[in-house]
A and B are shown apart, each in its own frame.
Chain A
Amino acid sequence: MSALFVEGVSILAPGLIGWNASRAVLTGERPYHAAALPPLAANLLPANERRRVTALVKLALHLAQEAVAMADCDPRTVCTVFASSGGDSEVLDQICAALTLPDRPVSPTYFHQSVHNTPAGYWAIATGCARASTSLSAYDGSVAAGLLEAAALALTEATPVLLVACDLPPPFPLLEHRPLTAPFGMALLLNPTATAPRLATLQVRPVGHRAPTTLADPDLEALRRGNPAARALPLLQTIACATSGRIILADEGEIAVNVDIEP
């Protein structure tokens, strides 16, 4: 197996606002306190596009930007993988509601943004990156699947890959049927060749059915279980602690991924 160097990382969730501010919480030096997310601006986009984009797109772009900035790399050279279990449920809710009205007035703007690869499209427009990009879902295993696809892309094409994973609680009435408890997003800049100072080295492989690695802190563990993207928390914690470790990313009925981590 070949190694992947983590050259950039980002996180955004209640009480975990950016990597530098979150590291002490993830290492256990500071207690975790959930606090509301600040509004995000999508500054990368031209003004006309910025007005239209939804909260999920803003979250994805913010995460991508932070991880790329940390790695200090040219985003145009980086392939991308966007993993999200449910995509933009705000948009889907608007469309499904419009379909119940007379004449079914689906908004062209919402329909433009209804595809799962909307964040990928906006990232490409914002950065000018024309490289390959995968947008995927594997329900609660979306982070694990995204990490595998990112690793497969990085290793077989010998290219840096940006993995962005994020999900938002859907609006009512979908929320009752998909009860996510908090917003969460994370990004990793993975490089198969070392070009920048690294935060960690990963080896990734799928394994058979396994129990997932959990978190000792009950509030962080509740966050991990409350959002599919937050399934990455044990991995992010080990990276923050700069220790060696083995993490299993898994959910019932879905793929399990074994991640071996070295500082």
Chain B
Amino acid sequence: MAIKPVAIAAYTVTNALGRGMTASLAALRQRASGLRRCDFEDCAIDTWIGRVAGLEQEALRGPFAAFDCRNNRLARLALEQDGFAAAVRDARARYGAERIGVFIGSSTSGIRSTEIAYRDRDPASGRLPATFDYRHTHNLFSAAELTRRWLDLHGVAFTISTACSSSAKAFAAAWRHLQAGFCDAAVVGGVDSLCLTILYGFHALGLASSQMCRPWDAQRDGLNLGEGAGFALLEWAKPGDDRAQLLGYGESSDAWHMTAAHPEGVGAAQAMRDALARAELNPGQVDYINLHGTATRLNDAAEDRAVLTVFGPDTPCSSTKGWTGHTLGAAGVTEALFAILSLEHGFMPGTLNTRQRDPALGAGLLLDSQERPVRVALSNSFGFGGTNCCLLFGHPHAAATRSRPS
């Protein structure tokens, strides 16, 4: 039997394309990238970044002052777009604050605060400044704690941190907690912000491209880092529900290498198959795949193998990293919501910056956007440590096409 679908009751994203869903949708339609030459603080790396404008002016104040850091500013800013916080307030009135879970993905949380504290160490003693607040900024839970306190929720809350699959896995965890009866609704999301750790870290690995990232391109040579936040409010779908729904999810581990994806994409393919199995859908019923598509040589090749294995060459797919950059722990929710945009607007974004498809890759990559009804969309997220997560979303009018158990 297919798993019980969960409705996406409200959602929002903020990233280099701007604040809220409208900014992202407009940029996707207009093929307007949010990438710019790296101008993050005094970072001297020749690369492009997807930076959220204006975070410097968004300090957290009053009872939230302890949480003030780039990552939590971004989270708070995103929570206030698209009426999201108001939708959660309504849900709180219906379900009760203790019955709404918070599942947030983040890879590095507010590590920028610790970077700054190390920079400002006392030269004699080596101690960090007394003003450094580890708990409310750097600790991974800070992202979930800020979200929970901003929304005044008192249920289950934790931060999932599995590198670049973090906020995709938040959807899977939320489904499980709903199913186990640990909560009645869930705020899922992800937030990651630019910091020197990831910029210099990916630079050290030779993976930060000096050009705008070109997923699936024959000349691709690496990724661009970005920052972003996205949130969704989940509740059980009702009969006749007319909202986008989470139909399935799949998770797996490569069990292969800490940073290199399995060359055949075995774990990625398993995650896609598991998502289809939970939804009781056949590969042919998926209309659009939002790829992880980071634009590194090896990741795109591995994902291509996995997509070909499960779907063959005909399912339209694209990577939206050329718009936002790779937002790491926020990529899962960002691209899940882009998949939902494709359902709601009948619009499949192409793949920005990619000029010549790598002839060695065979998936059905869209270079140009297409306006076409999308009933079922899939979103891939993979990360360091060999972590894979795949999410499958549908719109209710896709229900008639869903296969029946034989």
Contact = CB atoms under 8 A, between A and B. Distances in A.
Interface of A: 1, 85-87, 92, 95-100, 104-108, 111-118, 120-122, 124-125, 127-139, 141-142, 145, 148-149, 151-153, 155-157, 172-174, 176-178, 205-206, 208-209, 253-255
Given A118-B258, A205-B182, A255-B155, A176 B160 contact: no
A149 B173 contact: yes
Contact of A137 (B139, B175, B182, B196): B139
A114 B197 contact: yes
B201 A115 contact: no
Interface stretch (B15-23, B80-88, B114-122, B238-246): B114-122
Instruction: Name, among B107, B141, B142, the residue most crowded by chain A CB atoms within 10 Å (CB to CB).
Output: B141
Nearest to B253: A124
Given A133-B387, A135-B161, A138-B157, A152 B257 contact: no
Contacts of B114: 92, 96, 174
B321 interface: no
A254 B157 contact: yes
Contacts of B270: 130
Nearest to A98: B200
Given A100-B118, A176-B127, A205-B182, A116 B158 contact: no
Nearest to A2: B180
9 contacts: A95-B197, A98-B200, A125-B258, A134-B160, A137-B140, A152-B182, A156-B179, A173-B118, A178-B135
Given A128-B255, A138-B158, A138-B159, A117 B387 contact: yes
Contact of B169 (A95, A104, A129, A134): A134
A174 B128 contact: yes
Given A116-B140, A134-B173, A104 B128 contact: no
A92 B140 CA distance: 12
Nearest to A122: B258
B162 A116 contact: yes
B205 interface: yes
Q: How large is the interface on B (under 10, 10 to 19, 20 to 34, 35 or more residues)?
A: 35 or more
A209 B156 CA distance: 11
Interface SS, B side: mixed
B161 A116 contact: yes
A106 B266 CA distance: 31
A152 B161 contact: no
Contacts, number: 207
Interface of B: 98, 107, 111, 114-115, 117-119, 121, 126-128, 132-135, 139-142, 144-145, 154-163, 169, 172-173, 175-177, 179-183, 196-197, 200-205, 251-259, 266-267, 270, 383-387
Nearest to B126: A173
A60 to B, nearest CB: 12
Contacts of B133: 177
B264 to A, nearest CB: 13
A129 B175 CA distance: 23
6 nearest A-B pairs in the assembled complex, by CB-CB distance: A121-B385, A116-B161, A111-B201, A132-B251, A137-B140, A145-B158
Contact of A139 (B145, B162, B176): B145
Given A134-B162, A135-B162, A145-B158, A112 B387 contact: no
Given A115-B385, A152-B180, A138 B204 contact: no
Contacts of A206: 98, 155-156, 182-183
B154 A118 contact: no
Contacts of A148: 156, 177, 182
B161 A124 contact: no
Given A113-B258, A132-B251, 17 more contacts: A96-B117, A104-B196, A106-B197, A112-B258, A115-B384, A117-B162, A125-B255, A129-B255, A132-B172, A134-B160, A134-B169, A138-B157, A139-B142, A152-B177, A156-B176, A173-B126, A254-B157
Contact of B161 (A131, A137, A173): A137
A118 B205 contact: no
Contacts of A153: 176
A111 B205 contact: yes
A107 B204 contact: yes
Contacts of A115: 107, 161-163, 383-385
A254 to B, nearest CB: 7
A132 B252 contact: yes
Contacts of B179: 152, 155-156
B118 to A, nearest CB: 4
A162 to B, nearest CB: 12
Nearest to A127: B255
A118 B312 CA distance: 32
